[in-house]
Amino acid sequence: MKIAIVAAMAEELAPFREVFSSTILWEKGKTKIEAVNPQLFLVQSGIGKANAAATSAWLCEKVQPDLMINTGSTGSFRKDFALGDVVYTNQFIYSDVDATGFDYAFGQVPQMPAGYPVEKELLETIEKVLKAAKIPAHQGMIVTSDSFMSDEASIATIRQRFPEIAASDMESCAVAQIAYFYEIPVLNLRGISDHVGDDAAATFDKTIDLAAEQAFKAVKALVDYWQKV
């Protein structure tokens, strides 16, 4: 299985680069696509939806992976989830897209699906592998926005629109939207770097390395599992 691991920031890919040696296939700006071997690739997309979408399109065209794993850090909407715990999404959706005036669901890009669910079999595999690896992990909806979640009014609105929300990031649904065109499955596993709210930015700065390390452990456990199958 050819797997591409996609993260926005160098800090989020640092644990992978410490373990895997790689060769740069393509680099432009903040974007880097590196080959570890013919079956494993590391991808630094840059922050935000536009960077994630552009990088994913290049990746799908040139590398043609069998599976994309988006990873890195996430802000938790659940106070009962600890910093450093891993969250993996069961559905990709935007929290800042509004075309409801044309009878689309909130979060739905016009003429695109309302969301991008993860296959049940993949979710069951994640649960099994992370449990065996004794990695604290939670399944739940991770939404995507171009905003860092520190504004309390915006957070309250998102909670109202998505009562089942677990966490938020700035890239994953854009990755999923591009992968949808190419019929490539996508997963999203992230370490919790902060709890959304006023203190999120300060907490993120202190916890990003922990979040990245925990996400790395989860993703590596899955990569090891699939490369043995």
Task: Tell which phi-psi region holds residue 159, choosing left (phi > 0), alpha (psi between -120 and 50) or beta.
Answer: alpha
Cα(147)–Cα(110) distance, integer angstroms: 21
HSE, CB side, 13 Å, CA atoms: give it for residue 84: 8
The residues annotated as belonging to the active site are: 12, 194
The one-letter amino acid at 21: S
Compute CA distances 214 → 31, 142, 169, whole Å: 23, 17, 16
- Residues facing residue 99 across a β-bridge: none
Q: Which residue has the tokens 């939207």?
A: 177
Radius of gyration of the chain from Cα atoms? 16
